[in-house]
Structure 1
Amino acid sequence: MHYSFVFLLLFCLTSQSLFAQILTLSRDEMIKLTSRWEGERYPDGRPKVPNEILERVKDISIEEAWGSMRGEEYHNQFEGNWMMIHEDQPIVGRALTAQYMPTRPDLEETLKAEGEADGRIGGMNSWPIDELQMGDVYVADGYGKVVDGTLIGDNLGNSIYAKSGNGVVFDGSLRDLAGLEKIEGFNAFVRGWDPSFIKDMTLGGLNTPIRIGRATVLPGDVVLAKREGVIFIPAHMVEDVLINAEFVALRDKFGIQRLREGKYTPGEIDTRWTDPIKQDFMAWLDENPDEMPMSREELDAYLENRTW
């Protein structure tokens, strides 16, 4: 049995209704699961990282975000080796998670009945789409299934983009690539493409913890997907990760410029900076305020705690 499903099953055994809780979490359970997040939440309790933060995340690199999280002992937030529709089109947004598993008839019958009783309609692979909010990224654990693992085609792709204005990250596959390519602004990170229809897959968790390859993903995590891979930033860490990544990018830009000018040697730039270099960097920032993606107040507060 898949590890994330085992975790969720054990978690749900403490609830009054086992099968109602397998598919989703209550607001209180969601808040408990993401308790380090102190900001705005959706009605279901999922963290809602502000749009202005998401816009800035688009410009940071995977490596910068990865480095910040590794420093805080978050070692399992990246997964690589993807196929995508558009290699030059990043995906950034809040994770809406779904977990699929191989079909077992008795379990699927019960889950479908519970879903219908809750007012869900259509195939189980459409249920997560009904939950999408603008700015979400639909992230699905399809356990790497490609043949008969096509979670969506172009019809559902259009629905996803209409609801979220965003794309998808699937540890699974898609069909109808030609149709999906026509959805302007839509992108997908997947394991492959296949003409088959989804078959023998059951939705076992909706907005629950899931595994994507070697990464653990919680609802509301900030998804940053670029050509080299996908990183999942915990909502409560995203502002710290962002400001650190932006600072590192500024530092690199200054260093590269000064190296090209011949003012410093590589050995001076690629080690702990001396006080004169720090002063030069601060003067460079004053001369180039448009280079700063953050406010000067944010930068000054960040520098108070940085050792360079």
Structure 2
Amino acid sequence: MPHLSDTTRNKLTTISTATVATALYKRGFRIQCIQNVHPLSPDQPTLVGEAFTLRYIPAREDLNKLDVFRDRSHPQRKAIEDCPVGAVLVIDSRKDARAASAGAILVTRLMKRGCAGVVTDGGFRDSAEIARLGFPAYHQRPSAPTNLTLHQAIEINGPIACGDAPVFPGDVILGDGDGVIVIPAHLADEIAEETFEMTAFEDFVAEEVHKGRSIVGLYPATDEQTLKDFAVWRKANGR
């Protein structure tokens, strides 16, 4: 798995998914946002980490009985124990929240093992309990039935589709209150650096707009005075 540096990780924790979406769009990436996933708690920390994936297919009833969980190599159970420290478990549940992708016990195990978070385009059972963990977790909506009723865990750490976004193992996952976005691994450092700078400028712009300044010439910075004012602001604010 590609190594996500502490520098890049720390920068990304200060950057919004919206800003990253703009930076990716400039490079031609249009579908990196995982659609229709939501944080379980509005107070959970920003999610940053490399993707470790789990893929479900439609369950075949003769192969997906309750006793499959006795098998220590069962892909869902194995994914929980194999997801690396600092990584994000990203689950392809086929955008189907009629049955849970996992529940509070498994998500708690991820948290205790030092994983960064979990994302599914399906649902979680025990969602209120997961929300109380303070652990970054995203899903479509709560779902009580066990995954076995509809989903068959089939593959760990291969390419998946999650909420219509392509996710490759090692891609960098960023999640905030707006949702979750996937940064191709080879672009992570570059995107973090660029969006860190973008965020500084947007913070300056926000302050100016609150003061009553027009966005004309300010955003985008088409007036030379804007860049001069920004330089003064950066120096004064240590940005």
1:285 to 230, 234, 238: 234
- Post-superposition offset of 1:260: 4.8
Q: Which letter maps to 2:204?
A: F
- Post-superposition offset of 1:150: 1.4
Question: What runs of 5+ residues in structure 1 fail to find an aligned partner?
Answer: 1-45, 293-308
Aligned residue for 1:231?
181
When residues 194 and 107 of structure 1 are mapped into structure 2, their CA distance, relative to the original with a 3 A threshold, is closer
Q: What root-mean-square deviation, in Å, do the aligned CA atoms of Structure 1 and Structure 2 show?
A: 2.6
The CA deviation string for residues 269-292 of structure 1, in whole angstroms up to 9 with x for no partner, is 124433343233223322321xx2
Q: Which has the larger radius of gyration?
A: 1
2: CA distance, partners of 1:161 / 1:285: 37
Secondary structure (helix, strand or coil) at the match of 2:110 reads helix
Contact 2:90/2:119 (<8 A) preserved: yes
Structure with bigger RCO (C-alpha 8 Å, 6+ apart): 2
1: CA distance, partners of 2:8 / 2:214: 35
2: CA distance, partners of 1:152 / 1:106: 21
Matching of residues 66-85 of structure 1 within 5 Å: 66-85=21-40
Secondary structure (helix, strand or coil) at the match of 1:164 reads coil
1: CA distance, partners of 2:104 / 2:206: 44
Question: What runs of 5+ residues in structure 2 fail to find an aligned partner?
Answer: none
1:62 to 17, 25, 44: 17
Aligned residue for 1:129?
80
Greater strand content:
2
Aligned residue for 2:218?
269
The CA deviation string for residues 114-158 of structure 1, in whole angstroms up to 9 with x for no partner, is xx9xxx7164311111211211110000112223x2122221111
1: CA distance, partners of 2:210 / 2:132: 42
What percent of counterpart residues are identical?
25
Aligned residue for 1:202?
152
Please state if 1:102 is matched with 2:58.
yes
- Using the size of structure 1 for normalisation, the TM-score is 0.68
Greater helix content:
1
Count how many residue pairs are aligned between Structure 1 and Structure 2.
234
The CA deviation string for residues 49-108 of structure 1, in whole angstroms up to 9 with x for no partner, is 113321221111111101111111111201232243212323221110111101346887
Contact 1:150/1:194 (<8 A) preserved: yes
1:242 to 171, 192, 217: 192
Aligned residue for 2:6?
51
2:48 to 86, 89, 92: 92
Moved over 4 A (4+): 105-109, 259-262
Q: Which letter maps to 1:97?
A: T
Aligned residue for 1:156?
106
